[in-house]
Amino acid sequence: MPVAPTPFLRLSTSDGSAKDRFERWRSLHTSIAIEVAERGDALRFEGEMRAVTGAQGVIFGVSRYTANLCRFGEHKQDMLLISLTREGSIGLLRKGHTKELVKPADGLVLVRGDAGTCSVTEGHGHIYLSLPMELARQAVGGDPVRHDEALRRIGDAPLVPFLTAQLEQLETHLAALDGPAAETAIATATDLSLALLRSLGADRHPLASMADRSLFDAATLLIQQRHGDPELTATSIAAALGCSRTHLYGVFARLGHAVADHVRTIRMDNARRLLRGTILPVSVIAFRVGYDSDTAFSRAFRALHGESPRDYRLRFRCEET
């Protein structure tokens, strides 16, 4: 019996007329703001893309395209991109920082999807795995790329060759796999990615002991379980874990975190999930994630995401349609 091909999202601008090829490309990238550098570039634009979604919201894709400007973070997408440049180059630019150029020789890199970064390219081709940021944070116990960074070069970490090979194999063979086999292949790449992120997290905090990481993991689990409690504080977390508040602060600091920020991050991760996946009123969601009023919740949400919970929900629903 023939194998049913994997349902790739496919696009080649060569299939359409020159006048609408760039708009067709932009229409499939609703979570990022894409423009051409010059007006005439839209008519000359060329792009090809294949992408498929696996479990947990992970997306594997291959794309090649000519000159454009792309603003990450424009629509507050909450993802981490693991990218392997295959041809050309891409320049990542943040306000106040010099442009960082990524070429094939750089190997795997991590790019924040919410970092307010502008990428500039004359031509770029890459393989990528897009992970929900919440999934990446859970693996690392925090952000794998700092908020003041857009890009993190992975270098020669031990798992890099394995993940690189897996992504290259996916590029070559995924279209020939049926749905279940494709999901398994993407899940393997996801597991390798999360293992790599965990190893990078350990390398990033060499002063932290195994005991520190164990306590941090226990605190994270406790916060996830009790994030709806408005009385959840460093004092109550420390008491539940059997340590002093000062010791808890020290452990978080050695791992590059603050207790209050970690609590807020977990609350907001759950708030976004409820805003996207339910029709619960904002006031109910505010209560569920530990705020005693929807006003306080909306203020905290806007401070972190630049838009109100209602606007976030509306935008997400518009992008889904």
pLDDT, greater one: 207 or 248? 248
Contact 186, 58 (CB under 8 A): yes
**Stretch 98-113: mean pLDDT, rounded?**
86
pLDDT at residue 142 above 80? no
Measured between alpha carbons, how far is residue 246 from residues 88, 237, 240, 243 in Å?
50, 12, 14, 8
Q: Are 52 and 10 in contact (CB under 8 A)?
A: no
- State the Cα angle at 30 between 321 and 22, rounded to 5°: 115
At residue 136, what is the residue type?
A
**If you write DSSP's letter for every residue of 27-78 in order, what string do you get?**
HT-TTSEEE-SSTTHHHH--EEEEEEE-GGG-EEEEEEEEEEEEETTTT---
Question: Is residue 128 within 8 Å of residue 193, measured between CB atoms?
Answer: no
Domains and their CATH numbers in the chain: 9-204 (2.60.120.10), 210-320 (1.10.10.60)
Tens-place pLDDT, residues 47-80: 888 888 888 889 899 999 888 877 765 555 678 8
Q: What is the pLDDT of residues 243-277, one digit of tens each?
A: 999 989 988 887 778 899 889 989 998 898 899 88
| pLDDT at position 3 | 47
**What's the confidence (pLDDT) of residue 72?**
67
What pLDDT is recorded for position 164? 94
Per-residue model confidence (pLDDT) at position 1: 43
pLDDT digits (tens, 9 = 90+) for 272-315: 889 988 899 999 999 999 999 999 999 999 888 888 999 988 88
Q: The pTM is what? A: 0.63
Cβ(113)–Cβ(72) below 8 Å: yes
The encoded tokens of residue 319 equal 């992008």
